[in-house]
A and B are shown apart, each in its own frame.
Chain A
Amino acid sequence: MSANYVSLAYLAAAVLFILALKGLSSPVSARRGNLFGMVGMVIAVLTTLTVTHNVAYILIAIAAGGAVGAVIAKRIQMTAMPELVAAMHSLVGLAAVLIAMAAFNNPVAYGIGETLHASNRIELFIGTFVGAITFTGSIIAFGKLSGKLGSKPLRFAGQHWLNLALGIAMVGFGIAFFITQSWTPFLIMTAIAMLIGVLLIMPIGGADMPVVISMLNSYSGWAAAGIGFTLNNNMLIIAGSLVGSSGAILSYIMCKAMNRSFFNVILGGFGGEATAAEQGGGVQRTYRSGSADDAAFLMGNADSVIIVPGYGLAVARAQHAINEMSKVLTEKGVKVRYAIHPVAGRMPGHMNVLLAEAEVPYEQVVEMDEINNEFADTDVVLVIGANDVVNPAAKNDKSSPIYGMPILEAHKARTVLVVKRSMATGYAGLDNDLFYMDKTMMVFGDAKKVVEDIIKSLA
């Protein structure tokens, strides 16, 4: 195929990718959108196939990788979506690094020319280090999300200085590569970028993962776009930029939902020292606790119940149980709804997918801004596996580290039930005044177990 036809086919694929993203504006059009995306990818791959040799090897590689991807997509638990997404980001990052190496190895084959122009070398440098950071950073994020590494932030003195020094060293070797055009500085630069990826994500704790995973999503797009610059390939540039800006917007939305700046999250905002002191010096406060039967009695006699799910729901895999419970309550004439905080869970939209999996009716699931006015008119709020997102200190206590963060105003309801494993603090390490209010009753235990007991008691 001539270069013009190839470019036109890429244009068609690019339009289909845009339609795929556009489809996600509503659940009704989303499935068709995904189909557009698939068609776009098929067009892009078939078109490229007409200009390459080694077609047999290429098809074998696609079949092998595709089979692995298909099996994973079929088997993965919905609760494990965050770690799957992180793992897939790392693949894109590594692929970008490998392609950059291949291009550097034999620039003529990619139409770059006998010698690398100055702009080629800069593009190669950027594509490689973004890819390398995405690769290792995503592996660490995967480890934290899947529980293989502790989700606790790992910090040490001088961390930021080390990162800065490594960053400067990386640029230094990048410049050396620019001048000498040899492998040694290129490989050292890549290795340093990989180390930076690890060091960047290690200090970030579990509840900040929605930001991290969005950021890595963004990086994986920029890595693809960077490779597109190197190969002078508009397909890669367009698709990569779409993904890059999508991830950037998600990071922004997540940061806003925590009232923190992006740099605050990435550089490790919630320092250990101040909050630890607060905990140690705190007086023993009294709270009320009750059984699942008490909770069932309160909810069974209520007119309206709002359920606030959090990461604990995902950990306990209680989404099906909670849907059973709301069905029983609905049959009793109780109005049940779910209130979703944007950063509930470990990735954007995590709670929505879990509830969708359990077949919770769409209209019962309400976003924070729409439901916050209704807490005051609600009889019972059931907080299940959530903590910081319902902490009234974010509204009332100017000295609190989370002051200003938008919260679900559960404290305004007539009665608050909190299902939790213990009185331990949430991610931010803060005590939650909600737990000590007169109208609050704590129900201790595993979320799934408690909900199942409530169902038994309601029946």
Chain B
Amino acid sequence: MTGAVDPFVLNLTVFVLAIFIGYHVVWNVTPALHTPLMAVTNAISGIIIVGAMLAAGPEKLDIGTVLGLVALTLAAVNVFGGFLVTQRMLDMFKKKNK
């Protein structure tokens, strides 16, 4: 058992631990907020924007960077739309609480 750990194994470690965290955090979400939960997870899955930026990032512009830019635009819709609509919904829940 010597040598560097394969990146895949490290990725898998992070992946499995993140699923456990997600599992425990989401069970505590109150059912009344399940729609905002879907909207905010929609925004968070917009994290694919990071992948799109990397795809659009290489210095040489080619078909790959163009695909990246298209993906980037789509992901940006998700990020902005997701967080803002969540905010709008949560504002409605706030009104009731005063």
Residues on the B chain within 8 Å of A78, using CB = 89, 92
Whole-angstrom distance between the Cβ of B45 and the nearest chain A Cβ: 4
Assess whether A27 is in contact with B51, with CB atoms less than 8 Å apart: no
The residue that A31 contacts in the complex, of B37, B57, B91, with Cβ under 8 A, is B91
The residue that B37 contacts in the complex, of A14, A18, A24, with Cβ under 8 A, is A24
Assess whether B71 is in contact with A237, with CB atoms less than 8 Å apart: no
- Known contacts A72-B77, A85-B42, A88-B82; decide if A48 and B67 are in contact (CB<8 Å): no
Interface string of B32-72 (1 = CB under 8 A from A): 11111111111111111111111111110111110111111
How many angstroms from the CA of A397 to the CA of B34 in the assembled complex? 31
Whole-angstrom distance between the Cβ of B1 and the nearest chain A Cβ: 20
- Known contacts A49-B53, A61-B76; decide if A356 and B96 are in contact (CB<8 Å): yes
Most interface-central of B36, B41, B92 (chain A CB within 10 A): B41
Whole-angstrom distance between the Cβ of B91 and the nearest chain A Cβ: 7
Residues on the A chain within 8 Å of B32, using CB = 27, 340, 349, 352, 362, 365, 367
Assess whether A88 is in contact with B81, with CB atoms less than 8 Å apart: yes
Interface string of B76-93 (1 = CB under 8 A from A): 111111111111111111
Assess whether A249 is in contact with B26, with CB atoms less than 8 Å apart: yes
Whole-angstrom distance between the Cβ of A63 and the nearest chain B Cβ: 8
- Known contacts A25-B29, A66-B76, A91-B78; decide if A239 and B36 are in contact (CB<8 Å): no
Q: Is B22 an interface residue (CB 8 A)?
A: yes
Residues on the B chain within 8 Å of A45, using CB = 49-50, 53
Assess whether A27 is in contact with B15, with CB atoms less than 8 Å apart: no
| In the complex, chain A residues 185-233 whose Cβ is within 8 Å of any chain B Cβ | 213-214, 217, 220-221, 223-225, 227-229, 231-233
Residues on the B chain within 8 Å of A65, using CB = 72-77, 79-80
Residues on the A chain within 8 Å of B57, using CB = 51-54, 58, 109
Whole-angstrom distance between the Cβ of B15 and the nearest chain A Cβ: 5
Assess whether B23 is in contact with A229, with CB atoms less than 8 Å apart: no
Assess whether B38 is in contact with A24, with CB atoms less than 8 Å apart: no
The residue that B22 contacts in the complex, of A53, A61, A73, A242, with Cβ under 8 A, is A242
The residue that B47 contacts in the complex, of A44, A52, A73, A342, with Cβ under 8 A, is A44
Whole-angstrom distance between the Cβ of B5 and the nearest chain A Cβ: 12
How many angstroms from the CA of A20 to the CA of B33 in the assembled complex? 13
Residues on the A chain within 8 Å of B28, using CB = 22, 25
Whole-angstrom distance between the Cβ of B47 and the nearest chain A Cβ: 4
How many angstroms from the CA of A181 to the CA of B77 in the assembled complex? 32
The residue that B77 contacts in the complex, of A51, A52, A69, A342, with Cβ under 8 A, is A69
Q: Which of A34-42, A292-300, A375-383 contacts B (4 or more CB under 8 A)?
A: A34-42
- Known contacts A52-B57, A54-B61, A106-B64; decide if A353 and B89 are in contact (CB<8 Å): yes
How many angstroms from the CA of A72 to the CA of B48 in the assembled complex? 20
Whole-angstrom distance between the Cβ of A64 and the nearest chain B Cβ: 5
How many angstroms from the CA of A119 to the CA of B6 in the assembled complex? 10
Whole-angstrom distance between the Cβ of B52 and the nearest chain A Cβ: 6
Assess whether A54 is in contact with B56, with CB atoms less than 8 Å apart: yes
Assess whether B48 is in contact with A30, with CB atoms less than 8 Å apart: no
- A selection of 19 A-B contacts at a CB cut-off of 8 Å is A27-B90, A27-B96, A48-B53, A54-B65, A64-B76, A66-B77, A68-B81, A99-B55, A99-B67, A217-B42, A224-B47, A232-B7, A233-B54, A236-B50, A241-B19, A349-B31, A349-B36, A360-B96, A362-B97
